[in-house]
Amino acid sequence: MFVDEVTIFVQAGNGGNGAVAFRREKYVPNGGPAGGDGGRGGDIIFQVDPGLNTLMDFRHQRHFRAPNGEPGGNNRKHGADGEDVVVRVPPGTLVTTEDGTVLADLVHPGESAVIAKGGRGGLGNVHFSSSTHRVPKVAERGQPGESRWVKLELNLLADVGLVGFPNAGKSTLISTVSQARPKIADYPFTTLVPNLGVVTGYGDPFVMADVPGLIEGAHTGAGLGHTFLRHLKRTRILLHLVDMSPDTGRDPVNDYRIIQHELKAFSPELAERPMVVVGTKMDIPGSQAVLDAFQKALPAVTVFPISSVTGEGVASLMWEVRRLLIENPPIPPVRQEVTVKPVVRGFRVVADDEGFRLVGDVEERAAMTLWGNPHAEAYFCEYLRRRGVPEALRRQEVPDKTAIKVGEGTVYWVDGDLVPTPPDDYPE
């Protein structure tokens, strides 16, 4: 089954907690802090596997989680890092966030990208000692790993794309010039999935893509072709096949204009790609008259007449495609512009229905605080004092004996100071 679009959830590993430990060795009195750092959480890495050509496997597994880092140990032992999780994807996979931000465009075999980064390990108490704080009982909690829903979109890697109405002869042409063997029948929408074929014998080999036929309104969701139009995004050349058979009862001029409109409506950039108009089924009696009428109505359009059944004109068409491929280099992968975001420092006090909350860069520090450890909570309160939080609470006239939430933790505003635990007379 061909699957070319899925949404999955990725969760990188959390960093391991730092350790609170002290040296306990014989003949070493008053041993100092010796708590080791936590290990790094595992990353979620997407890597191109040239042996894959569909996203079908992601229909069965939609959640990927990397292991957490191990906590630090005694004697400054560093916790083990979480193992990275490598997710294999087919060439041409575009990875975006829910809002459309491009995270990676994976094209070449072996190419990889970190989609969710693991959190760093928390610092052990060895990092918190100083000349005035010789017995620190404080350590950091590991940093949470990144998590997000991502959309995977497979865009086939082809040099030449075939477009046209259903039964215009696209599948017959690709089966004539390559080893591809798509289903061919005389009814509309025979082609239900894209087909790729490697064309040889006309200079360097190139890849041709046959997508399901388009109909009017395809760019808005009509028919089958709209689902696969994106597979033409990487193509360098488009072959627009127009059925010249007089037996269909269709107007080739109108068909040509409809397809041109659908391409432009879907992607103006795609519509500007080099295009060769191909008149198909020229072996059928009466097709030459239809072709003459087409060229009279559209004198500016050059048409390559062919018959995929007899081979008439196919070689000339392929050599013209080869010439255009030489003139038009491959489409480069979409690359996310790496912008260095300025470090935003600061916090503010927010009042809502649930009370008061501190938001800003202090939340990152709160996320790495070992809540439940009174020494770590007291250290965090000292950090808030250094940041000027008490002054901000006074300016905002926050009432005495008020709980202040910071991330998932809570501190208390009592008698003009921040404390980690509520007083005995704290109101219920």
Rounded to 5°, angle at Cα 20 from 14 and 23 = 135
Q: Residue 150 has what pLDDT?
A: 95
At 208-250, the pLDDT tens digits run 888 775 655 544 444 444 556 777 878 899 999 999 999 888 8
pLDDT higher at 394 or 213: 394
User: Is pLDDT at 39 greater than 90 in this prediction?
Assistant: yes
Q: Residue 404 has what pLDDT?
A: 93
What is the average pLDDT score of the chain?
85
At 98-132, the pLDDT tens digits run 888 889 989 888 999 999 999 999 999 999 888 77
Give the pLDDT mean for 372-379.
90
| HEC-encoded secondary structure of the chain | CCCCEEEEEEECCCCCCCCCCECCCCCCCCCCECCCCCCCCCCEEEEECCCCCCCHHHHCCCEEECCCCCCCCCCCCCCCCCCCEEEEECCCEEEEECCCCEEEEECCCCCEEEEECCCCCCCCHHHHCCCCCCCCCCCECCCCCCEEEEEEEECCCCCEEEEECCCCCHHHHHHHHCCCCCCCCCCCCCCCCCEEEEECCCCCCEEEEECCCCCCCHHHCCCCHHHHHHHHCCCCEEEEEEECCCCCCCCHHHHHHHHHHHHHHHCHHHHCCCEEEEEECCCCCCHHHHHHHHHHHCCCCCEEECCCCCCCCHHHHHHHHHHHHHHCCCCCCCCCCCCCCCCCCCEEEEEECCEEEEEECHHHHHHCECCCCHHHHHHHHHHHHHCCHHHHHHHCCCCCCEEEEECCEEEEEECCEEECCCCCCCCC
Fold classification of 347-419 (topology level): GMP Synthetase; Chain A, domain 3 (3.30.300)
- Residue 187: pLDDT band with limits 50, 70, 90: very low
> Is 144 annotated for ligand binding?
no
- Residue 32: pLDDT band with limits 50, 70, 90: confident
Give the pLDDT mean for 31-36.
87
Pick from 27-41, 213-227, 324-338: least confident? 213-227
Fold classification of 1-154 (topology level): Spo0b-associated Gtp-binding Protein; Chain: A, (2.70.210)
Q: Residue 344 has what pLDDT?
A: 57
8 Å CB contact between 248 and 188: no
Q: Residue 334 has what pLDDT?
A: 62
Give the pLDDT mean for 138-156.
91
> Is 280 annotated for ligand binding?
yes
How far is 88 from 110, CA to CA, in rounded Å? Answer: 9
User: Is pLDDT at 284 greater than 90 in this prediction?
Assistant: yes
Radius of gyration over alpha carbons of the chain, in Å?
32
> Is 167 annotated for ligand binding?
yes
> Is 178 annotated for ligand binding?
no
Neighbours of 346 (CB within 10 A): 9
pLDDT higher at 4 or 242: 242
- Residue 339: pLDDT band with limits 50, 70, 90: very low
Does domain 160-327 sit in CATH 3.40.50.1820?
no
What are the residue ranges spanned by the domains of the chain? Answer: 1-154, 160-327, 347-419
User: Is pLDDT at 31 greater than 80 in this prediction?
Assistant: no
Q: Residue 224 has what pLDDT?
A: 46
Q: Where does residue 375 rank: exposed (0-12), middle (13-18), buried (19+ CB within 10 A)?
A: middle
> Is 164 annotated for ligand binding?
yes
> Is 282 annotated for ligand binding?
yes
Q: Residue 299 has what pLDDT?
A: 93
> Is 283 annotated for ligand binding?
yes
User: Is pLDDT at 162 greater than 80 in this prediction?
Assistant: yes
How far is 216 from 208, CA to CA, in rounded Å? Answer: 24
Q: Residue 193 has what pLDDT?
A: 63
> Is 193 annotated for ligand binding?
yes
Pick from 99-108, 336-345, 408-417: least confident? 336-345
Q: Residue 427 has what pLDDT?
A: 64
pLDDT higher at 191 or 17: 17
> Is 166 annotated for ligand binding?
yes
> Is 302 annotated for ligand binding?
no
Q: Residue 218 has what pLDDT?
A: 44
> Is 190 annotated for ligand binding?
yes
Give the pLDDT mean for 176-197.
63
User: Is pLDDT at 178 greater than 90 in this prediction?
Assistant: no
Q: Residue 115 has what pLDDT?
A: 94
Structure tokens at 247: 């037996």
> Is 7 annotated for ligand binding?
no
Adjacency order of strands within the sheet including 275-280: 195-199, 206-210, 160-164, 237-243, 275-280, 303-305
- Residue 324: pLDDT band with limits 50, 70, 90: very high
Q: Residue 219 has what pLDDT?
A: 42
> Is 252 annotated for ligand binding?
no
Rounded to 5°, angle at Cα 335 from 333 and 336 = 155
Q: Residue 86 has what pLDDT?
A: 97
How far is 132 from 134, CA to CA, in rounded Å? Answer: 6
User: Is pLDDT at 275 greater than 80 in this prediction?
Assistant: yes
